[in-house]
């Protein structure tokens, strides 16, 4: 299986953990031996962090591969994949490293495994610089399942910065092939709902204040819709540590989903957290795309693997998305085009990302 090693520069474009996630997932799927250099070269703490390491180790275990140079702070790894197998796989960041990012790297791989998989992911469920687990279940899941697979996501324990301690179990069966998707018809907003949570020692009033501030902010711009944001006190037995945050979802007549979310930090008042999430949601609704800025880059790898042409309409194309496209083209040889959307009024910054997928088939099914 071992052919010529593919060389990846981990310091270009987004220059962070995302390059590692996309390239190791594709390496695993395509059986391409890989060398990644200059990992997170420009970051304040360069090299592998605990969450990147646990993601790499998980991919290695998924396919009985070989991994060299994988330790905290390392800026170069070599990965030699073998056959992807199903079964139970565990990854533990031992920090507040995001379980959602662990899911991002492993999910495409286990779709093409020989049998069903159970991924036990431990770390932060609602962490900074990553999607919240609620985003994964409420937005990512229903949309990504349009590629023609289903997964089950069981939140056993929530974990927050700085301790982590959360656990999520993802179960999924393999597929023969992925269908292409077409997310270009935005429709009109029909529903806005969400959840504002507090965990640990934080008073319930904080959840109510976040929700109320978010509703007030949305009302200024969208007057005719009922906005239903539930304040929630996380049960003691289902949350590890202290945290607060909010996620708000807008659903459209064509089934598109958009989100805005924010996490509380020490010394930041609850209203501010609620308003930040509301403003993020409103910004994602203004550009006229059919996916929000956080879904964009997560769909690229699935579009690259699908059989046929996928299209998504987006707002401004993020650096994460450009990075995912670059490596999907380099490693999988998928063909992407990004064009300014024709059918918008010129004031809107809207794009259509189109991909001719490679039609990856599962060799075991």
320 is annotated as an active-site residue: yes
Q: Which two tokens stand for residue 264?
A: 């509380």
Are 146 and 191 in contact, with CB atoms under 8 Å apart? no
Decide: 146 and 137 in contact? Cβ < 8 Å.
Answer: no
User: Which pair of structure tokens corresponds to residue 78?
Assistant: 């070599």
Q: Which long-range contacts (CB under 8 A, 24 or more apart) does 338-346 make?
A: 341/288, 341/313, 344/288
Looking at the DSSP assignment, which residues form a beta bridge with residue 98? 124
Round to whole Å and give the CA distance between 59 and 110: 9
| 296 known member of a binding site | yes
DSSP 160: B
Written as six digits, the tokens of 349 are 């910054």
Token pair, residue 269, equals: 């008042």
- Does the annotation place 294 within a ligand binding site? yes
98, 127 in Cβ contact below 8 A?
yes
Residue 356 assigned to a binding site: no
From the list 52, 89, 287, 320, the catalytic residue is 320
Q: Is 66 annotated as a binding residue?
A: no
* Structure tokens given for 340: 């300014």
From 154, 249, 238, select the one nearest 199 (Cα to Cα). 238
Pairing of strands 151-159, 117-123: unpaired
The answer to whether 160 is a known ligand-binding residue is no
Beta bridge partners of 37: 9
Strand runs labelled E in 135-186: 151-159, 166-172, 182-183
Which residue in the block uniquely carries the two structure tokens 């060799």? 363
Whether 106 contacts 91, CB under 8 Å: yes
Residue 322 assigned ligand-binding role: no
3-state DSSP call for residue 56?
A: helix
Annotated binding-site residues for ATP read 104, 294-298
Query: Active-site residues: which are they?
Result: 320
Annotated binding-site residues read 104, 294-298
């Amino acid at each position: 299986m071992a052919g010529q090693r593919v060389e990846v520069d981990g310091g270009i474009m987004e220059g962070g953990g995302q390059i590692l996630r996309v390239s190791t997932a594709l390496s695993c799927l395509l059986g391409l031996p890989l060398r990644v250099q200059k990992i997170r070269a420009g970051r304040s703490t360069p090299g592998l962090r605990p969450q990147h390491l646990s993601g790499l180790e998980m991919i290695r275990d998924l396919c009985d591969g070989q991994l060299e140079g994988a330790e905290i702070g390392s800026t170069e790894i070599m990965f030699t994949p073998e056959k992807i197998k199903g079964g139970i796989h565990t990854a533990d960041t031992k920090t507040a490293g995001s379980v959602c990012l662990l899911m991002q790297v492993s999910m495409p791989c286990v779709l093409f495994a020989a049998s069903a998989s159970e991924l036990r992911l431990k770390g932060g469920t609602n962490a900074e610089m990553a999607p919240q687990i609620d985003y994964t279940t409420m937005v990512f899941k229903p949309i990504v399942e349009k590629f023609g697979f289903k997964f089950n996501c069981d939140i056993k324990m929530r974990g927050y910065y700085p301790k982590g301690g959360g656990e999520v179990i993802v179960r999924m069966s393999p597929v023969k092939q992925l269908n292409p998707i077409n997310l270009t018809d935005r429709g009109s907003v029909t529903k806005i709902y969400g959840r504002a949570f507090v965990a640990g020692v934080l008073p319930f009033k904080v959840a109510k204040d976040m929700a109320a501030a978010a509703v007030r902010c949305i009302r200024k711009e969208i007057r005719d819709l009922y906005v239903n944001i539930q304040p929630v006190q996380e049960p003691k037995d289902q949350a590890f540590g202290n945290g607060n945050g909010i996620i708000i979802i807008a659903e459209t007549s064509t089934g598109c989903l958009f989100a805005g979310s924010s996490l509380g930090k020490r010394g930041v008042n609850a209203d501010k957290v609620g308003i930040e999430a509301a403003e993020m949601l409103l910004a994602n609704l203004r550009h006229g795309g059919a996916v929000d800025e956080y879904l964009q880059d997560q769909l690229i790898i699935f579009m690259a693997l699908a059989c046929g042409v996928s299209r998504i309409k987006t707002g401004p194309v993020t650096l994460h998305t450009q990075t995912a496209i670059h490596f999907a083209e380099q490693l999988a040889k998928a063909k992407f085009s990004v064009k300014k959307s024709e059918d918008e009024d010129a004031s809107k910054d809207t794009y259509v990302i189109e991909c001719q997928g490679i039609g990856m088939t599962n060799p075991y099914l």
